[in-house]
Structure 1
Amino acid sequence: MGQALSDQSQPAPPSHEEVTKALANKFAEKCFTSLELYSLRDVFKSLADHEQNVRYLKEDTVARFLEIPDILGASAILFQMMSYIGAFPFLQDAPAVLGLEQTVMVITIMTERYRRVLAKGATDRRKLLFKSMAVYDRKLSAPSSDEEAADKKIADNADVKSDKSVADRKGGPSGFAIDEAGDEEDDDGEEENDELVLAAFDSLDYLDAFKYETTTPKTHGAAMVPADNFRKLIMLLLLIAPLDPQESLSLYSGRVSGAELESLRTTAECVLAAFLNVEQSPGIKFHQFNTIIPASMPFIFNGFTSLFEHFLFSKNIDFHKRIDGEPPREKPSLTAVQPLLQDSGSIMNLNVLSQLSFFIPGSSLFRRVRLLYSGDDDGFSMGSFETKVFHWRAPTILLVSGNRLSDDADYRSAGAESAFLATLPPKRFPSGTGDEAERITFGVYVSQPWKHTHRECFGGDDTLLFQLSPVHDVFRASSMNKDYVTFTKPSSSTNHAGISFGCPPPPPTHAYRRSSIISLGSVSLVLDSSFEFGCFTHDYTSRGGAFQTSAGRKSNFQDRFEVTNLEVWGCGGDEEAKHQAEHWAWEAREAEARRKINLGTGDIEADRALLEMAGLIGQNRSGGSMG
């Protein structure tokens, strides 16, 4: 009897609806200003449909408001994500009807404002985003080998009752695959609690009452993001990467038509290739998703912040309205806004710039990069490279693209190609991903100013070596090996001239010991001194050198290529550009002064004759001219 009385004295746990409302109110209070909250209510009221005393958002309404281009086909995927996240923290109830409280959940999580409330280790929304895109379909997870098939059969027999209980708990038919977000087991196969959900319950002091509901049921590889869905979402993420909170996405309509759309799709394919080979696998599993994103594209979802902050700016509120007594405020002119990319390049375009923002903060890229050097315009020589790049006092991005050299090339034959191949060690690894004749693009982010290499390399541990096509990949700098960047011009004191990343500096030349082979780093990129050829090496078995090995491609490969384009872009503002322009002007004045040599006689022809007799100019000399 005492036990029964004790049980009756315990208050009943709150319902799902009560917890959701309490959490939404807490998010609204802690994560939004009063003006933002007022705007959100006003926007929701103007957009919501009304049915049986319930106001909710529909897919086409959201797509029109956010101005998602129909041609991308991403509206349904984005709304699926919103419907799943709107059920937070009771994700098993997804998909949710997007009422005002659910919309608050979506905006708070998509803009990462939840960090202001959920501070107990819940700083990662990656698993939640994966679940919001994932589907549960055993046909999509068909094994690619007999061994995998046997493992899957054993697992299915062990968990058939568990799967049935999950279906019974949800009740009724499961519906279309796109409507149901799947569950995913962790790497060790153990059930895991979602930290983000646990932190939400803990913030409301409901952790004990609802902790059991956060347990993820074990399913063996059935949850995955379909490749076609993720491709469409990547195209949207590339498009919104430079978006400002109050900027209309329709301003970028030119990027989703004609050749620009094809370029956007091509860039998205390169990013998708980082996760899987679409010809061999139908979708992305959580292990791939959770491995690739932090290593190669940690900022890929940053565009969601500005996109969903559109809900916080109501058109019915005049933010430029002046207070009594204040002078009138001028509205910003669209014509005064700098373009996202001020210069045009052979490699760099808006889609490549957006791709770079997936692993380099967009605040350092959009409207801030300037073309310093272009091989097409300035000549493929280390001298012109030095003149254009060396005095830039901010980070730089080097981009190089080319065509793979055939493995059948004979280094013993005559020609520039054979001469370059003769300086490389024998090729032990196959070529990288892609067709033999496919264009490949590599790049390097260097935070320190460029300089000549003597006995040691330059660059810091924030240097990034990366590949943009045909596979997106990022190779981060090691903190142990400092052989980041070398710049060595041709001279009698060096064995191998050129630019290299991840290779040791060329040793001094000795008459009795001259090495004809370049010492390639485990993960490295080498360009010869004439910028005609390059070589990228990825020795996975060595576990990296100055740069770490790929997080996604656990194999050895080497790409030898003929350079077609080479560019260097400076990251920085007007101050860096002004300093560079002043230095170029000084060099121009110095060059002009050297051409106008004057011996003080006042007679240029007489001075020229004296210099010719001295053998300094004329007679095929290169001492300059006086004219």
Structure 2
Amino acid sequence: MGQTLSGEPDEPRSREQLVQQLAARFRDKCLTNLEFYSFQEVFKTLADQQGSIKYLKEDTVSRFLEIPDVLGASPVVFQMVSHLGSFPFLQDAPAVLELPQMIMVVVIMTERHRRVLAKGSDRTKLLFKSLAVYDRKASQSSEQEKKEDAQPKPSTGGFAIDEAGDEYGEDIEEEDDDLVLTALELLDINDAVKASDRPEFHGAMIPTDNFRKLLLLLLLTAPLDPQESLSQYSAHFTGENLDRLRMTAENILASFVDVEKAPGIKLSRFRHVIPTAMPNLFKGFNGLFDRFLFSKDLDLSKRQNDNEKTTLKVAQPLLQDQGEILHEHTLSQLSLFLPPKDLFRRVRLLYSGNEHGFSMGSFESKVFNWRAPTLVLVRGSRLSATPDGGQEAAFAEALPPKRFPDGGKGDNLTFGIYVQEPWRYTHKDCFGGSDSVLFQLEPVHDVFQASTINKDYVTLTKPPSNEPLLAFGSPHPKPSKANRREVNIPLGPVSLALGDSFEFGVFNHDYNSRGGAFHGSNIRRYDFQDRFRVDSLEVWGCGGDDEAKSQAERWAWEAREVEARRKINMGTGDQEADRQLLQMAGIIGSNRSGGSMA
């Protein structure tokens, strides 16, 4: 009938054209005009040129980002950057870092890609691929197995026995991650091309030493704001602070792998640990790679005074107070799973056992008036299986018999909890909410999220109704009908409890039990219990100036009350008359105990 096709097929686009197209989409949707202009200026200043190609080299990227040489992380970061620069055609990695490739890198590293690739916004698998190395022997073996599987096999009449796989399931090696698939769909690439371009992914793992170096960098970059540089925090990776940084990184690394047994981290473990124990692990890349979007040549402050020289911005201290447990790197470790906005430059030391005394009274006087979230941190030394001395024996007798082994290697233990509600004594019921988070920082980084069914989050008791007890995740100690105090310290399935005078503590993890106030570990899927002597106990208030001012006013009022009592001249020798005098002065009454008269 002389009819023709309604449309001729489009001419195939080269990969270079597709990359240019995706980079243009990222540029238009993820960067402002000012950011892209600054980015061009930065790239032009940094780029080397070979023929008509302008590109960035490893030492250039490292020097621009100011990655400290002492960390040894520059090669690891450049491997990531070179891999991400090949997005979405990862089989072409490593990429030459021209301007379009660097747009990919900066947009993905700063999470701006969500504005275009919202459907596949999770970049966890993509980051794993950018860090992984590949075992060629495993890949060749897999190809050989495929060929053998294609051949008919004689029946043996028996049953197939599965090999023991990874603890968290076999790696899904043949799939592209959602982020890549979403980008390919955006470019309107058909399924046949997607399948043929899928890279081999057998035997992939992140070398342990490489990941250790990256963790050092991520801890340093965790507090970075836009336009801040790592050089502003140089004091955090020198001398004693460098030793603390390395110890903190080792505790986090222990969540992923046993460094004495495994050479690297597999994808299944990587994908399992990060969402549950450290969802903010890669947030530090946001501030680090934001530097590419701010050109020093574009200094808007010069308009105010052209003669005024621009001075380097000095980073404000991350901590206003110094503690024995909490330091800058511990704060970065906490920011991996707690809101960073509540931590950096916003925590104040309310209570320290070694400074204010290990007692309920000191704890109450320093903590109860804080009306914002708090962090409780306790560090201790692991107790031996056989109690050493009467106090250890008394603590052991107050606990149920120990049924579980220790939770890991090492003698030093650090636990903590994040509580959003104000503190109070729990005469009958516990307090706290489902936003409470129980955690361990040393020797293994682990997080235990709150349950919404059981609400035994925080218990704080005192005589005469109960023995002094500070516990998290344990049922409230109910007095017996004979009004006797509870003999044993009650332990919840997943719980942390400190005994009388905060001298000893116990962390219980009954993984096979259900129904506790906190969920079991997703990292250690077994039962364990750690008993320890308390070396340090700290409570930190999270909040701003308003909370600190309110707390200071309360402390000042209490100090005036104490001084008023001290100045009253007793001298009668009659305790009842002295009490009446205090009541007439309005210092004590029906709602105030007035303290001891002895």
Is the TM-score greater than 0.5?
Answer: yes
- C-alpha distance in 2, partners of 1:29/1:540? 49
Do structure 1's residue 451 and structure 2's residue 450 form an aligned pair? no
Instruction: Please say if residues 429 and 556 of structure 1, whose CA atoms lie closer than 8 Å, have aligned partners that are also in contact.
Output: yes
Cross-structure match for 1:179: none
Cross-structure match for 1:212: 195
1:498 pairs, out of 469, 476, 491, with 469
Determine helix, strand or coil for the equivalent of 2:236.
helix
Cross-structure match for 2:333: 355
- The residue identity in structure 2 corresponding to 1:259 is E
Do structure 1's residue 374 and structure 2's residue 352 form an aligned pair? yes
2:497 pairs, out of 526, 539, 543, with 526
- C-alpha distance in 2, partners of 1:510/1:478? 30
Aligned length: 566
Determine helix, strand or coil for the equivalent of 1:500.
strand
1:537 pairs, out of 508, 513, 516, with 508
- C-alpha distance in 2, partners of 1:54/1:327? 36
Do structure 1's residue 301 and structure 2's residue 246 form an aligned pair? no
- C-alpha distance in 1, partners of 2:197/2:347? 45
* CA shift for structure 1 position 6: 7.2
Cross-structure match for 1:178: none
Do structure 1's residue 132 and structure 2's residue 107 form an aligned pair? no
Determine helix, strand or coil for the equivalent of 1:38.
helix
1:265 pairs, out of 224, 241, 246, with 246
2:387 pairs, out of 409, 412, 418, with 409
Cross-structure match for 1:557: 528
Determine helix, strand or coil for the equivalent of 2:501.
coil
Q: Calculate the aligned-residue CA RMSD, in Å.
A: 2.9
Query: Pairwise mapping of residues 211-250 of structure 1 onto structure 2 (< 5 A)?
Result: 211-213=194-196, 215=198, 217=200, 219=202, 222-250=203-231
- The residue identity in structure 1 corresponding to 2:270 is F
* CA shift for structure 1 position 9: 3.7
Determine helix, strand or coil for the equivalent of 1:399.
strand
- C-alpha distance in 2, partners of 1:409/1:216? 57
- C-alpha distance in 2, partners of 1:160/1:95? 29
- The residue identity in structure 2 corresponding to 1:10 is P
Judged with a 3 Å threshold, the aligned counterparts in structure 2 of structure 1 residues 116 and 292 are, in CA distance, closer, same or farther, namely: same
- C-alpha distance in 1, partners of 2:170/2:363? 47
Determine helix, strand or coil for the equivalent of 1:511.
coil
* CA shift for structure 1 position 477: 0.5
Instruction: Please say if residues 471 and 497 of structure 2, whose CA atoms lie closer than 8 Å, have aligned partners that are also in contact.
Output: yes
Cross-structure match for 1:581: 552
- C-alpha distance in 2, partners of 1:124/1:613? 70
- C-alpha distance in 2, partners of 1:374/1:519? 25
Cross-structure match for 1:169: none
Do structure 1's residue 481 and structure 2's residue 444 form an aligned pair? no
Cα deviations by residue, 1:587-627 (Å, 9 ceiling, x for unpaired): 11122222233xxxxxx4xx52264695869xxx98569xx
Determine helix, strand or coil for the equivalent of 1:608.
coil
Instruction: Please say if residues 13 and 209 of structure 1, whose CA atoms lie closer than 8 Å, have aligned partners that are also in contact.
Output: no
- C-alpha distance in 1, partners of 2:484/2:358? 30
Cross-structure match for 1:609: 572
Cα deviations by residue, 1:424-445 (Å, 9 ceiling, x for unpaired): 111111111113xx21100100
Cα deviations by residue, 1:125-147 (Å, 9 ceiling, x for unpaired): 100000000001268x8xxxxxx
Judged with a 3 Å threshold, the aligned counterparts in structure 2 of structure 1 residues 254 and 327 are, in CA distance, closer, same or farther, namely: closer
- C-alpha distance in 2, partners of 1:333/1:212? 50
- The residue identity in structure 1 corresponding to 2:522 is A
* CA shift for structure 1 position 244: 1.5
Cross-structure match for 1:47: 46
Instruction: Please say if residues 538 and 549 of structure 1, whose CA atoms lie closer than 8 Å, have aligned partners that are also in contact.
Output: yes
- C-alpha distance in 2, partners of 1:160/1:80? 33
* CA shift for structure 1 position 191: 3.5
Cross-structure match for 1:592: 563
* CA shift for structure 1 position 480: 1.2
Cross-structure match for 1:398: 376
1:344 pairs, out of 312, 317, 322, with 322
Unaligned runs of 5+ in 2: 150-167, 581-593
Instruction: Please say if residues 229 and 288 of structure 2, whose CA atoms lie closer than 8 Å, have aligned partners that are also in contact.
Output: no
- The residue identity in structure 2 corresponding to 1:462 is D
Instruction: Please say if residues 493 and 509 of structure 1, whose CA atoms lie closer than 8 Å, have aligned partners that are also in contact.
Output: no
- C-alpha distance in 2, partners of 1:526/1:261? 32
Unaligned runs of 5+ in 1: 142-151, 163-184, 598-603
- C-alpha distance in 2, partners of 1:622/1:458? 26
- The residue identity in structure 1 corresponding to 2:507 is F
Judged with a 3 Å threshold, the aligned counterparts in structure 2 of structure 1 residues 587 and 236 are, in CA distance, closer, same or farther, namely: same
- The residue identity in structure 1 corresponding to 2:479 is P
1:570 pairs, out of 537, 541, 564, with 541
- C-alpha distance in 2, partners of 1:153/1:423? 59
Determine helix, strand or coil for the equivalent of 2:505.
strand
- The residue identity in structure 1 corresponding to 2:357 is G
Judged with a 3 Å threshold, the aligned counterparts in structure 2 of structure 1 residues 331 and 506 are, in CA distance, closer, same or farther, namely: farther
- The residue identity in structure 2 corresponding to 1:211 is K
1:193 pairs, out of 176, 180, 183, with 176
Cα deviations by residue, 1:240-290 (Å, 9 ceiling, x for unpaired): 111122112112222222221111111100000001101111100011100
1:462 pairs, out of 414, 417, 435, with 435
Determine helix, strand or coil for the equivalent of 1:11.
coil
* CA shift for structure 1 position 415: 1.8
- C-alpha distance in 1, partners of 2:407/2:212? 22
1:426 pairs, out of 378, 401, 417, with 401
Instruction: Please say if residues 222 and 284 of structure 2, whose CA atoms lie closer than 8 Å, have aligned partners that are also in contact.
Output: yes
Cα deviations by residue, 1:500-549 (Å, 9 ceiling, x for unpaired): 00001110243276541222111100001301000001111114611111
Instruction: Please say if residues 91 and 198 of structure 2, whose CA atoms lie closer than 8 Å, have aligned partners that are also in contact.
Output: no
Q: Report percent identity of matched pairs.
A: 56
- C-alpha distance in 1, partners of 2:236/2:308? 32
- C-alpha distance in 2, partners of 1:507/1:560? 23
Cross-structure match for 1:158: 145
TM normalised by structure 2 equals: 0.89
